[in-house]
Amino acid sequence: MGLLDGKVAVVTGAGGGLGETHALLLAKEGAAVVVNDLGGARDGSGGSASMADQVVNKIKAAGGKAVADYGNVASEADAQAMVKRAVDEFGKIDFMIANAGILRDKSFKNMTNDMWDVVVDVHLRGTYLTVKAAYDQMIEQGEGGSIVVTSSTSGLIGNFGQTNYGAAKAGIAGFARCLFQEGAKYGIRVNILAPAAWSRLTEDIFPQGQNMEELLSADKVSPIVVWLGSDEAKPVTGRTFLVQGNSVTLLSWQSHMLATKDNNEGPWDVTEVGETVMQHFENWPKGPQPTPREF
């Protein structure tokens, strides 16, 4: 007996890294899985069937149910086709994990429009298109569903050299924070994952020689993601989870009043508002610190 027996999941970018470990664990917990992957390079160039196929073969060898899909998440037709594949092969979709991603890191000084566009296209538009296809199908089925989108601390906190990626990842989180409010009406839950794991995306970014490959292996992130697709997770929606190694952290908001006066009064004087907010500057929460690299 698995926690997801009888459920059908689509995982985008599941031919390697986190998507692969999500797909393998979903199948182990009893879900039938559409393993989508374009099979390109880390920067999004190229494509092949081999990445999705090798994950499907692993799932089938272990006695699970899976089918490969080689579509591009940034194509509307491909996004619709991967959800249709779930319905055609397994009868429905219960769980969409929008995970596919690429990197084109560059300091902003050297950023080009192409680097900006392709990263925003795959991450933000790709998440929109695949989630839209899944969401529409879930509404048609009338039994709710679960969606997990993949953000990043780059978008939620910040990271040197990733203005394109950070913008897309912040966009994904904003998208999900709006969508979960609409999905509640249909029993569709939407949660946000901000992972950290050793993969081809991060192997030259993480500190080297510190056993990170094992300490932060991708399979340590997948259990909470898979759980979010189960009926046990029905009360959980609209939440952001930072997951690295065996730690699951809930990201929540804090606000800090810096200056206030009665709204019946006129606006602040510019100098006065500046002086007021700076009165307790040393007590402001510490902001993120830059970690400069060369690009």
Q: Enumerate binding residues for ligand NAD (CB under 6 A).
A: 12-13, 15-19, 36-40, 42, 44, 51, 72-74, 99-102, 122, 126, 150, 152, 195-197, 199-202
The least distance separating ligand NAD from the CB of residue 251, rounded to whole angstroms, comes to 13
CB atoms under 10 Å from CB of 65, counted, come to 16
Question: Which residue number has the CB closest to ligand NAD?
Answer: 17
Total length of the chain: 295
- For residues 18 and 196, give the distance between their C-alpha atoms in angstroms, rounded to a whole number: 9
CB within 8 Å of 158: residues ≥ 6 apart: 166, 288
Closest CA to 293 of 154, 115, 100: 154
Exposure letters 268-291 (e unless 16+ CB within 10 A, then b): eeeeeeeeeeeeeeeeeeeeeeee
Compare residues 144 and 158 and give the one whose CB is closer to ligand NAD: 158
Count of CA atoms in the C-beta half-sphere (13 A) of 250: 7
Is residue 70 within 8 Å of residue 38, measured between CB atoms? yes
The least distance separating ligand NAD from the CB of residue 8, rounded to whole angstroms, comes to 19
- For residues 31 and 54, give the distance between their C-alpha atoms in angstroms, rounded to a whole number: 18
The least distance separating ligand NAD from the CB of residue 103, rounded to whole angstroms, comes to 7
Compare residues 51 and 138 and give the one whose CB is closer to ligand NAD: 51
Phi then psi for residue 219, to 5 deg, are: -65, -15
The least distance separating ligand NAD from the CB of residue 57, rounded to whole angstroms, comes to 15
> What is the set of active-site residues?
165
The least distance separating ligand NAD from the CB of residue 173, rounded to whole angstroms, comes to 11
Compare residues 205 and 277 and give the one whose CB is closer to ligand NAD: 205
Compare residues 8 and 98 and give the one whose CB is closer to ligand NAD: 98
Compare residues 79 and 233 and give the one whose CB is closer to ligand NAD: 79
Encoding tokens for residue 181? 């409010």
